[in-house]
Chains A and B, each alone.
Chain A
Amino acid sequence: MLNFEEELEKFRPVLEIDQIENQIATEDMRDVIELIKEIQDQADRKID
């Protein structure tokens, strides 16, 4: 009926309470706007 192994791959471990701090510290908080800004700054530097 279902391929168990395939379905199992859809499940990932959940974040535990003790891991919140580490997760926040290591997460990349840049949004799309900041990425665009970075690209723009790089382009401006190249022109200069």
Chain B
Amino acid sequence: MQYVCPYCQNSIKSGIYCNRCLKRVDKIRKIWEKSSAYYNHGLKAAQRRELSLAKAYLQKATMLYKYNIDARNLLGLVYLEVGQTAEALKEWIISKSLKNEDNIASYYIEQIRKDQQCLVTYKESSILYNQALGYLHQGDRDMAMIRLKKAVSVHPQFVQAKVLLSLIYIEEKQYYKANEQIKKVLVIDKSHRVALSYFNKLSQKDTQSKEPYEIDYTHDAKLQPSFNKIMDTKSSHIKSIVYFLTGALATGIVGVCLVLPNKIEGYQNQIIQLQDSKESLSTQVQILAEEYKVKVADLENQNKSLQTKVTSYKEEVTGYKQKEGLEIAKNLVDEGEYKEAAKTLYTMVTTHLEPQEQEQIDELKEIAYARAIDSLYNEGINFYNNEEYAQATDAFETLLQYEPGEWTARKSLYHLADLYDMTGNIEEAKKYYNKLIADYPDTRESYKAQEWIDKLNAENR
């Protein structure tokens, strides 16, 4: 075997020094030789079909010295033989990468590459095996068994799958089938430790007779006709009907006796729950109603309180307005605007004024009214003389509001009646003439008023 110097990668055939780097390689040579020895043992084990043993030796050989190409290539062959094609390819690829020229690994890889069926077969079986292992770890032996059966049928060389399948058979007490698988494994690999241990265990069991549950029914099985039983079609129809009716009756009885009571109980429980819910909801509604009543009462109280406040504020405002009116009236009187002052005072409400303020109002009225009456009377006369009858009417009517003295009142009433007469408003004229007669009898104005009324009556106007 050719050795590679670990220091300079120079190939060495013999000697204790490397030819290139001149480093001592005598101790390393011992490892080389050990690796070679393992390879030899592995080769002999492989020749004896003790493939597990061969695998162990060859792995040690490559572990000691990775450039042991023969050991690596043989290890690949061993993997291939036990059905682990991927492991075999891996070893050959590594072998080729370590030594590219003059390496049989290239040939092996090429052969595998050409045989696509081999790769497909292994791919399928390896996936099935790994799935089965997963199922077993989850406790699903049935699914695992299905996968493994498929794996070994697709790839009969797959030793690991066979051994795992036999383990399941042993667990299922299908010793005949387990034994079948183990024997096939031991044909391929005589030194498979696990298979040997199972084989020893199985030797204590009956592996010759097949239990009924171990029989596989395949599509090849042919049904043998039984000549003893000839089918009577008529009676078979009747029997079918009878069986059907019996089954239906039995189902009905089971339903009534078992299913129905449970359903009824279930419905009763639901009714009870719903009633409880209803009571609970009623209670909640009552509580809410009480709460709302309390809230409504509280809000009503608040509303009353607020209304009281509003009323109070309004009265305050009214008071302020009336006081403001008083001030305005004072200012008007001070400024000599007696007509405006009288108008203000006439319309003023004094309900919220103090007594001294009431007195002030009265004093102002006395002053303003008197001056306003004079002014309005003079204006009325002027308007009358200028034939501005509407303005004259307004003036006289206004001054009459201010409670003028007798003379002014008489004159004003008379002028008003005369103005209405001149403007054709006979009813108003008559009203004022009558008032004049009533309020101020035995006066010149009342006599004139009477004359007018008499004349009116005579004319039937």
Contacts and interface: CB of A to CB of B under 8 A. Distances in A.
Interface of A: 1-2, 4, 7-8, 10-11, 13-20, 23-24, 27, 29-34, 36-37
A17 B205 CA distance: 38
B65 A17 contact: no
Nearest to B66: A31
A34 B6 contact: yes
B243 interface: no
Contacts of A17: 85-86, 89, 119, 122-123, 126
B130 A16 contact: yes
B90 A10 contact: no
Given A7-B194, A34-B6, A20 B93 contact: yes
Nearest to B168: A4
Given A20-B90, A29-B66, A32-B64, A14 B31 contact: no
A5 B7 CA distance: 48
B6 A14 contact: no
B6 A11 contact: no
Contacts of B136: 8
Contacts of A20: 86, 89-90, 93
Contacts of A15: 84, 86-87, 90, 126
A11 B123 contact: no
B111 to A, nearest CB: 15
A11 B164 contact: yes
Interface string B19-55: 0000000011001100000000000000000000000
A33 B31 contact: yes
B167 interface: yes
Contacts of A19: 86
A1 B205 contact: yes
Contact of B133 (A13, A27, A37): A13
B198 interface: yes
Contacts of A36: 27-28, 31
Nearest to A10: B194
Contact of B65 (A16, A27, A31): A31
Nearest to A8: B136
B160 A11 contact: yes
Contacts of B87: 14-15
Nearest to B164: A11
B171 interface: yes
B137 interface: yes
Contacts of A7: 167, 194
A1 B133 CA distance: 21
A33 B64 contact: yes
A30 B67 CA distance: 10
B249 interface: no
A27 to B, nearest CB: 8
A40 to B, nearest CB: 10
B174 to A, nearest CB: 12
Interface string B376-393: 000000000000000000
Contacts of A13: 129-130, 133
Given A2-B201, A4-B171, A37-B7, A29 B64 contact: no
A14 B130 contact: yes
Contacts of B122: 17
A41 B441 CA distance: 155
